[in-house]
Amino acid sequence: MMRILLTGSTGFVGPAVTRQLRHGGPELCHVIRQGSAGRICAPDPRDRIVEVEDLFAQPADWWAETACGYDLVLHMAWYAEPGKYQTSLKNLHCVAGTMALAEGARQAGVPRFVGLGTCLEYDLSSGQAFQDTPLAPESPYAAAKAACATALQAALPQAGISFLWARLFYLHGAEEDPRRLVASLHAHLAKGRPLELSSGTRIRDFMDVDAAAALLVQDALSARSGISNICSGTGISVRALAESIADQYGRRDLLIFGARPSNPDDPPCVIGQRSDAPLPI
């Protein structure tokens, strides 16, 4: 039976990934923040739960002991508070903690390490992001993720560890923070409250978190290494997405487009592209 150590099980992507892993029956270990065990998706009596105050503060030797005997580390945890995570210095703390986790996995002899990145690592000026698109992160968050990918790719394969960096695009769905776009739309429309939005002309590669989790688990459990884009390969404008959600409530009249300014730094179009084989970093 495969044994998988997960971080980020109680975040946005983690519960969807856990649901997918339940189908295959692996033995799971969840390393989570203290007091968050209630958010683990459909807990199994076989699950091992390790609670810590701050998993990014744990040293490599702690991780080596915790990860001993596991076949895969799937690292999904990161600081991700909406409105703050893009520019926060906590990203540096996450980088340091991820390096300690990777070193601990190496010491424990874990044969495979999978980490989550972001499409924001790429140069998005062309509107499309392929797996070999050059990197040009423009925020501390994206730069921190790119730094992790580069460092881990340089270190882990040399140590005999299979490494995959899965870059996520624009996800929405269950367990989403209520401050994020799609969750906010549902919350306002369900209560008949108007919602002020930007012009909505930006085009994004939106994907339901469960579909993304299925793709991520597929890649994580395969022999793929290097870079993998977790994306749909299609784009839709923010306006069209908002209107499709409003149509579920019959309340397009509640969408007030143009009431909020667009972020001038946001690229007009971001669409991911996925190849059958990931490319080296």
Please state, in angstroms and as integers, the Cα–Cα distance from residue 123 to each residue in 129, 133, 232, 254, 272, following that order.
Answer: 8, 7, 18, 35, 12
Of the chain, the percentage scoring pLDDT greater than 70 comes to: 98
Please tell me the distance from the alpha carbon of residue 122 to that of residue 142, in angstroms, as a whole number.
Answer: 9
The string of pLDDT tens digits covering residues 129-179 is 999 999 999 999 999 999 999 999 999 999 999 999 999 999 999 888 898
**Shortest CA distance to 77 belongs to which of 47, 137, 32?**
32
What percent of the chain has a predicted confidence (pLDDT) above 90? 88
Q: What pLDDT does residue 279 have?
A: 53
Convert the pLDDT of each residue in 13-31 to its tens digit: 999 999 999 987 899 999 9
Q: Tell me the C-alpha distance between 153 and 121, whole Å.
A: 15
The verdict on pTM exceeding 0.75 is: yes
* pLDDT value of residue 264: 75
Q: Provide the pLDDT for residue 276.
A: 67
pLDDT in tens, 85-130: 999 999 999 999 999 999 999 999 999 999 999 999 999 999 999 9
Q: What is the pLDDT of residue 141?
A: 97
Report the chain's mean pLDDT, rounded to a whole number. 94
CB burial of residue 204 (10 Å; 0-12, 13-18, 19+): buried
Res. 281 pLDDT band, cuts 50 70 90: low
pLDDT of amino acid 211: 97
Predicted pLDDT at 45: 85
Q: Which residues pair with 204 in a beta bridge?
A: 236, 270
DSSP state of 262: P
